[in-house]
Amino acid sequence: MAAQTGRPGGGPAGAAFADLERVPRMNLDKAHRSVFAQDRPALPRVLFLTVGRSPRQDILPEILNILDIDLDVVELGVLDDLSAGEIEEILAHDGEESLSTYLSENIRVVLSKAAVRRKLERILDEIQPYDCDLVVLLSTGLLRDFQSPRPMVNAQRAVESAIIALGSNDQTIGLIHPLERQVGEIDIPVLNQFNVTASHAREGDRDSLARAVMDVADSDVIVLHSVSYTEADREIVAQASRKPVLLARRIIATAIRLMLQQAPLRSGPALSAETRRRLERLTPRERQVATLVCEGLPNKVIAAQLGISQKTVEVHRANVMSKTGASSLGGLIHMMLGITPSTLSI
């Protein structure tokens, strides 16, 4: 069982990770590594920002495997340049909104969501337009619009877009979180309009996942609401529930591929010939706009991320709806994520 540290009663977390050394945050020019094709030049450079410490060998390899495209990968973590004492200062207090992450395989920390937001903002402020082609925020739970000089995939918003699509199809949604305290902290405005039940389960723990499935047994669709859940966890939940299960990692991979102007996921759900034909009508820029629209971003924010005018975004948005034949945002999300009544386990 992994050690878990927080601030119960507002007290210190103790010495659970006191022996962990400070990990310096590397310069972006030094912190990257090519994946799958190290000798090929001009690969898309994707910056993955994590709540914990980089590299995240527990998360990123599976996402890259799902993507199955050549990338120049950069990893930065909120905790990279913090000592054990500095980490203790940003642990979550009782009643405070929190995010959980791992410092090592056996040590989970529960961080103040507000403190993580501030540190992420400082990291993003340091990013220059030429540093990367895409920024990926690998955390479900951060709801605000973070500003970036490059297009961004926000994991929380990507998952929200899938929930919107499911809810618009009159589905009852079950959310499973890693920690019990996170069930009571749910504050996702988009969920207010849907019938949602929630539970918690430890990653990789078959018995814990099975208990959570029982808690959300009345749901039509189950969402594993953390990037820490793996494909193996999804399979356990799907087998125990006999329900479609959404995995955050797959949703994120879909959004990354679309933002990099790649074809729809080869390893994701099968697209019908008609859906594929409609998506292929989109230009690369229209595909980027469609992805950000599906994340729920307003035209002004989309324009800032893509470096184009708000009027141009409006034109692209209209073209997307016309070319795809989508009659609503929910219909567009279904199409972009490959969600259909017959294939939903993404």
The string of pLDDT tens digits covering residues 258-298 is: 788 654 434 344 456 777 788 788 888 888 788 778 766 77
Overall CATH class of domain 158-249: alpha beta
pLDDT at residue 14, as a whole number: 42
List, by residue range, all CATH 3.40.50.1860 domains of the chain: 158-249
Q: Which residues of 147-182 are buried (b: 16+ CB within 10 A; e: fewer)?
A: ebbbbbbbbbbbbbbbbbbbbbeebebbbbbbbebb
List, by residue range, all CATH 1.10.10.10 domains of the chain: 274-337
Strand partners, 123: none
Report the DSSP pairing between strands 32-35 and 71-77: antiparallel
Q: How far apart are CA 93 and CA 112, in angstroms?
A: 7
**This prediction's pTM:** 0.74
Percentage, residues of the chain above pLDDT 70: 75
pLDDT at residue 149, as a whole number: 66
pLDDT in tens, 72-122: 898 999 998 888 889 999 998 888 888 888 876 678 888 998 899 888 888
Report the DSSP pairing between strands 107-112 and 98-104: antiparallel
pLDDT at residue 204, as a whole number: 92
pLDDT at residue 201, as a whole number: 95
**Average pLDDT in the 210-216 region?**
96
**Of residues 186, 236, 182, the one with CA closest to residue 206:** 236
Centroid of chain to Cα 176: 15
pLDDT in tens, 3-61: 455 543 344 444 444 445 554 554 554 444 444 444 445 788 899 999 888 888 889 99
pLDDT at residue 4, as a whole number: 52
For the structural domain made of 274-337, what CATH number should be given? Answer: 1.10.10.10
Which is more confident, 35 or 210?
Answer: 210
**Of residues 34, 45, 35, 44, the one with CA closest to residue 65:** 35
Query: Given pLDDT bands bounded at 50, 70 and 90, which one contains residue 160?
Result: confident
pLDDT at residue 22, as a whole number: 52
Beta carbons of 333 and 162 less than 8 angstroms apart? yes
Q: What residue type is assigned to position 32 of the chain?
A: H
Q: How far apart are CA 183 and CA 196, in angstroms?
A: 11
pLDDT in tens, 122-135: 888 888 777 888 89
Peptide bond into 55 cis (omega under 30): yes
| pLDDT over 70 at 337, yes or no | no
pLDDT at residue 13, as a whole number: 42
pLDDT at residue 264, as a whole number: 45
Query: Between vectors from CA 295 to CA 72 and to CA 180, what angle results, nearest 5°?
Result: 90
| pLDDT over 80 at 330, yes or no | no
